[in-house]
Amino acid sequence: MERSLELAVSLLGILKAGAAYVPLDPDYPIDRLTYMLQDCKAATLLTSAAQELEVPLGTTVSVIPVSLERLTAHQAKRAVPTPVRTHPDDPAYLIYTSGSTGNPKGVPISHRSLVIHNRATIESFTLSESDTVLQFATINFDISVEEIFPTWLAGATLTFRPAGPLSTVPTLLQWVEAEKITILNLPTAYWTEMTAVMQDCALPSCVRLVVIGGEEASKEAYRRWKLAAPPGVGLINSYGPTECTVTATSYRAGSGDETDGTLPIGRPLAGTKAYIVDGNLQLTPLGSTGELCLAGPCLSSGYLNQVALTNEKFIDNPFDTQPSYARLYRTGDRVRYRRDGNLEFLGRLD
């Protein structure tokens, strides 16, 4: 389903029914969508009436087209919904990683993890009812989770990016100004492109916060940002694997030592603990490089239908005996602690 009111209603309806949603961007290749449907054994596929959908071969999913007319007709019946008992550890959604090293991997995220992430995001972004948040990412990326649910939970306004005409940064910024968007959550690559034109195309005055993530922010892009960003506009550099519910650490620009011109990935969000270990899973000395491992209630239960990979990446936590932190996720990312206590991303181990 594309970005639409029907998408918003469908997400809420799935959760109210006690089910878990699996995002399927219709622009993705049919082979990948077919694999995801087969892997998760989806029972029902919600799609917009605008999509001329053929059920992928090899799946038994039933297709329900969602339209405002159909929703209005059902609403008129005023049917009493069946009571649903959902446990905090039941999955709220199942999202697939990009699959850069093979087939996409299904990662289930629980209601508990989603709520903890939402609350931490509201605090980090200082979200309030007066905010309007842009829904920019494809729904297949878990950044969409961070755009959508904390916004609703805070009572703020969610605005979906329209399809098609916003192909250039200046066009997008014009649209952002017209829609009075206050918070942008952008891929670092897109933000880098945006900083290259900000001298000639200013950031709209309505924007109070820009959040970036997905890859390392370059020194040059950050230098351009500091030169062109209006006073008072915040910048948050975020980091997080899908396996840890979207975002695990974040850094607000200007809150630490930036004498070398780089943006660190900051400190763990509430409910997350970070450890830097060597090849023997021993904690590294302060300032030394090692693998980042994460623990906390925001960790996924593992990979769908992949027991061996789950056991490899999700291990017992030897550093904490609390039940909420009993499991450790090995990110495969190289980091180190800076002198100011913030984490610095240094690339992949492989």
* CA dist., res. 47 & res. 65, Å (int): 5
268, β-bridge pairs = 249
Structure tokens at 26: 């219709």
237, β-bridge pairs = 212, 251
> What H or E segment, with its residue span, contains residue 121?
helix 111-125
What own/partner pairs with CB < 8 Å and gap ≥ 24 does 271-277 have? 271/116, 271/117, 271/120, 271/296, 271/297, 271/298, 271/324, 272/244, 272/248, 272/296, 272/298, 273/320, 273/325, 274/248, 274/249, 274/343, 275/319, 275/328, 276/335, 276/336, 276/337
* CA dist., res. 141 & res. 150, Å (int): 16
Within 10 angstroms of residue 242's Cβ, the number of other Cβ atoms is 19
pLDDT band for position 84 (cuts 50, 70, 90): confident
* CA dist., res. 160 & res. 49, Å (int): 18
What pLDDT score does 99 carry?
Answer: 59
Within 10 angstroms of residue 45's Cβ, the number of other Cβ atoms is 19
| 148-203 tens-digit pLDDT | 999 999 999 999 998 766 678 999 999 999 999 999 999 999 999 999 999 899 99
CA torsion angle 127 128 129 133 (round to 10)? -20
**212, pLDDT greater than 70:** yes
| 11-38 tens-digit pLDDT | 999 999 999 999 998 888 888 888 899 8
| 291-322 tens-digit pLDDT | 999 999 999 999 999 999 999 999 999 999 89
What pLDDT score does 76 carry?
Answer: 67
% of the chain with per-residue pLDDT over 70:
94
Q: What is the pTM of this model?
A: 0.93
Reduced to 3 DSSP states, what percent helix, strand and coil does the chain have, rounded to the nearest 5? 30, 25, 45
Do 116 and 298 touch, CB atoms closer than 8 A? yes
| 270-290 tens-digit pLDDT | 889 999 999 999 999 989 999
